Structure 1
């Protein structure tokens, strides 16, 4: 008889109690996925996977241990619990570990309002292949595209259930549907590549496969003839495709785990200006049909909308229970975890205030500088915020794109960079991180 994730999680808790655990929580993730890749107008690879992953965390006082498995047979659950308790007896004490108090737990949520799961029928492998073939054909139809290195489509569903001896029990199901394409232009050492893709919770929202392929092809062709730019101080416009990485650095520095370790360039910036005064960074885990939405966090606490940065001012850290206890604060309901590790702070859906100008307006006004559309590598000093990344994109002269560029490095300091950002109005509202193109003046550019 097939057991649900909820039933397995409760059986894990029962086994933990019998093995001698004083407290425990269990997470069960059950899911399936199918992916298809094509090349040269024919199927190259198809894969379907199904499985259940289990994680059990047990406590003996302030000692904890975690075990995981992909086997949900009753005898395996018993062995997991016994092994976890034995490990906990040998573990060092952690004064900040432990489950949430019962009064901290959330008890009600509206899964229907979040629309995390698409009830429409699962697509067939044939339907996925036709999407991948359509994307590949559309890319190859673009003049200048020499080949398509990857055209793929996929679908997946997973169900997660969290239960703990403090009385929490909750779960939800999530679906995803995706199409992607990577096109290559040119020949030999002059080859350039670029991509496009889309991933949605609901299949009906997915962009057309032909549009994805065509966009990948056009982007690849635009890169032909790339050369190194000049070295100096120039304005840099981060394209909307990669601008969210800048906000990602801010989120990493305001993560409670980094703050508790004393390894953050934002360490002493709580309540201070970190963005321009007219910008806010909002976290909202309750946006319908968005991949980062969830009704509760990995410790059973309610998720909620909050301003991480409000009118340019950093308002707080991103906290789970352990980091909050270390800092003498309260969890923000941002715990995330897999089956093999403890909870840690993580962010959900983010939105940066959009500007009033289009990307074209910012290009026109920047004069001479760099439009960055792709970045590789990363050297970020977590303590100082010193920033250096490899980049490619397009050179801009007198407000107009003149030619593609590559093999250059952009550098600055995040503390200063973020205070100077000028956002465009081109963010895609259906992404988990809604961040528009961003202009930063006076960055150091190292080219030829």
Structure 2
């Protein structure tokens, strides 16, 4: 991306657009209104086998408008920022609201809960990367993978992406806030082996600040090492074994916690964690906190999608479920108060232990290290968990051989209760942070 690439609209422009929408909604008789105005742009370059495969540019903008006519709610959006288009969109939302049923839980957040100030979270680090530079880095990333091992026989490509955006959220109670953000990544996916004995794997790095990304060569080497290590995979005998979820996929267990403890699942009574607030669901040593104000954090936010100010809190304290994930609406449905989680969690952090991955394997002794999961076999009503998997069989605390074409199964309730240790090999790739996780047992279906 050239050094001159900038936003088409200033922060003040977005504020003015939001004010215009709120004013017109009031004129047209809306009892309340909230609006989100955003703009973003970026580029992605993919190189495969040293040839440029794709160069993509994106630039988009949008306005989302929610209006209330008493307890009736309507929503409409547009990508046209012209005054007439904004007025038409407000009126479209009002027309929708008139035909919707009344909902006693609909409406804006209480004014006292709305963010009054926006802390400096250091979320915006533009990357002035030209297309030529991006291609060069992608080529270097892929070449590092080929150079890492002669068994790397093919590539699915190396990619460099940079994205920037800014937004304003506002409502008719006087709330208005917004800021710019950035996110960049480097990825590589390669294939090891020949003919029927091929395996693929990948690696990527992502951050808001490009200076804190792993070097392209390191990403390529890591992808190659992982692909080669999977050659010669086989099944294991069906049985119950201890299981380690490697850090890159262990964050999925935190995602399952968020889903099951979210307001939507709870008020619909479709979660195995229903009525579990204040109950022990993990071993006593497990501590999970939400830290929305981490500087430069991938999941950091000053306020949620309702405009409610975020704050640090314990989600699991000494193994006890201390908090749900609630928006204004879902909190009202449950007769509770919002936790500022409209839109999801913000830097959910599982406190690491003292062992690295090698230490976890030594503690496990014999069992399965899972490095890849396939499918989405999770029933959040019952907690039943069953997914295809691949990884490594561990004997005497060491990797014995790669494993493929197996299924792991259990129940999230017993999986959470069966956490034996959390590794210190924390990998930060998103809003959920954890090291590898050792579980006491799962059913492994192989041969």
CA contact (8 A) 2:255 2:432 kept: no
- Separation in 1, partners of 2:274, 2:339: 18
Task: Give the drift of 1:431.
Answer: 5.0
CA contact (8 A) 1:290 1:430 kept: no
* 2:397 paired with 1:399: yes
Alignment-derived partner of residue 257 in structure 1? 264
Q: 1:197 aligns with which of 192, 204, 208?
A: 204
Task: Give the drift of 1:109.
Answer: 2.3
- Separation in 2, partners of 1:212, 1:75: 48
- Separation in 2, partners of 1:305, 1:189: 51
Q: What is the number of equivalent residue pairs in this alignment?
A: 436
Q: 2:38 aligns with which of 29, 45, 67?
A: 29
* 2:88 paired with 1:89: no
Q: Could you give the per-residue CA deviations for residues 111-140 of structure 1, whole angstroms, max 9, x where no partner exists? A: 2xx110015x52111121111111110111
Alignment-derived partner of residue 437 in structure 2? 438
CA 1:429–1:34: 2 relative to 1, 3 Å: closer
Task: Give the drift of 1:79.
Answer: 1.0
In structure 1, list runs of 5 or more residues that go unmatched. 337-345
TM-score (normalizing by structure 1): 0.95
Task: Give the drift of 1:325.
Answer: 0.9
1:99-118 matches, within 5 Å, as 99-111=108-120, 114-118=121-125
Q: 1:57 aligns with which of 66, 90, 112?
A: 66
In structure 2, list runs of 5 or more residues that go unmatched. 1-7
Alignment-derived partner of residue 375 in structure 2? 377
Alignment-derived partner of residue 389 in structure 1? 387
CA contact (8 A) 1:297 1:303 kept: yes
CA contact (8 A) 2:418 2:441 kept: no
Alignment-derived partner of residue 123 in structure 1? 129
Alignment-derived partner of residue 75 in structure 1? 84
Alignment-derived partner of residue 274 in structure 1? 281
Alignment-derived partner of residue 219 in structure 1? 226
- Separation in 1, partners of 2:401, 2:170: 56
- Separation in 2, partners of 1:289, 1:2: 23
Alignment-derived partner of residue 140 in structure 2? 134
Q: 1:156 aligns with which of 163, 173, 179?
A: 163
Alignment-derived partner of residue 447 in structure 1? 446
Alignment-derived partner of residue 359 in structure 1? 357
Task: Give the drift of 1:184.
Answer: 0.6
- Separation in 2, partners of 1:435, 1:360: 16
Task: Give the drift of 1:378.
Answer: 2.0
CA contact (8 A) 2:193 2:199 kept: yes
- Separation in 2, partners of 1:79, 1:413: 50
- Separation in 2, partners of 1:129, 1:323: 46
Task: Give the drift of 1:430.
Answer: 7.0
- Separation in 1, partners of 2:387, 2:136: 38
Range 361-370 or range 265-274, more displaced: 361-370
- Separation in 1, partners of 2:382, 2:48: 46
SS in 2 for 1:356: coil
